[in-house]
Chains A and B, each alone.
Chain A
Amino acid sequence: MDGVIIAMIVLIAISSFFIALGCIGLHRFPDVYTRLHAATKTTTFGMIFFSAAVILFGLWRFFEADEVNKGAYLTLIGHTLVALILLLITNPTGAHAIARAARRSGIKPEQAVIDEFEEVEP
């Protein structure tokens, strides 16, 4: 069963790496749009790996546990799946809402080489 624990550690390490990069990007990038890039993509991707680790743990314990305790691990798997689905839908939608609100309230992208939104709504 050591294999499962190693697989879980690898999954959690990958997710931590991407989420840490997202946090660094949040400080390094110059304006709200580029920061959103760092914040949304990396956290979504990191959370997929983290959920995979939790689901793996749940499955492993599900097959190992007594009949009485199996239900709890099934619940863990189900809830993680629901959280993952909702995260995949809401994370880009939230980023879109923030970017749209920022652009409509007149925040220009910094260091921009092109801005075709300017033609429609300056």
Chain B
Amino acid sequence: MLTFLVTFIGVLLLYLLLVLGSGEPGGTLGIYFAVEEIVAGVVLSLLAAVVSRMLLGKGENDVIGKPANIVVKPAIFIVYLFPFIIAMAFANIDVAFRVITGKIRPGIVRIKPRLRTNLARTVLANSITLTPGTLTVDVDDRTGDFFIHWIFVKDTRTDQEKMREVCGGFPEWARRVAE
């Protein structure tokens, strides 16, 4: 039921963003929204929520369906955006540097972040792809190991050290956001 509600609100918000500015001056909701668009949006969101109910929120690792997560997780996600965007800026300067100098030392490494939920793995994989010199190639669904293409491999001794070099604090953030 909670998953249903969360999907409904999420889809409705996306729809409202799409029809923003559809109203007429002097209408019931001003220039922001037309009433017909809101009605259509509610109907379509309900439909989307009904259809996706069979796919989302299954299994014990479900993140959306827990009441405590509803407010906390999106808030943590917004906080997470700040270190993420800073890391992303550095990533781009790094790639720009490598494009200009052509200094590369590529390789595929394996890290073990030990994340349980699919959502957390998705967050981490996408974060890794968008940040310094790393690209997620594959994820082992059973053990949760990540295979990462690294554009400039540094020599490391332990697994822990390797994980720090590859993705910094992102596994902890992914755990906070989606577990």
B-binding residues in A (CB < 8 A)? 18, 21-22, 24-25, 28-31, 33-34, 36-38, 40-42, 44-45, 67-68, 70-79, 81-82, 89, 91-93, 95-96, 99-100, 103-104, 109-117, 119-120
Contact = CB atoms under 8 A, between A and B. Distances in A.
Interface string B130-166: 1001011110100000010101010000000000000
Contacts of A79: 18
B99 to A, nearest CB: 4
A96 B136 contact: yes
What's the interface size class on B, roughly? 35 or more
A27 to B, nearest CB: 10
Contacts of A33: 106, 135, 137, 149
B105 A70 contact: no
Interface stretch (B42-50, B72-80, B89-97, B167-175): B89-97
B106 A113 contact: yes
B11 interface: no
A42 B96 contact: yes
Given A29-B104, A95-B135, A116 B21 contact: no
Contacts of A78: 17-21
Contacts of B95: 21-22, 25, 37-38, 41-42
Contact of A116 (B23, B105, B109): B109
Of A89, A111, A112, most B-chain CB atoms within 10 Å: A112
6 tightest CB-CB pairs across the interface, nearest first?
Answer: A74-B21, A78-B20, A92-B129, A114-B107, A75-B21, A25-B99
A69 B81 CA distance: 33
B25 interface: yes
B92 A42 contact: yes
30 contacts: A21-B96, A22-B99, A25-B99, A28-B99, A33-B137, A33-B149, A36-B149, A37-B98, A37-B151, A38-B95, A40-B135, A44-B88, A71-B22, A71-B23, A71-B24, A74-B21, A77-B20, A78-B19, A79-B18, A82-B17, A92-B129, A96-B137, A99-B149, A103-B137, A104-B138, A109-B107, A111-B104, A111-B106, A113-B106, A119-B110
A109 B125 contact: no
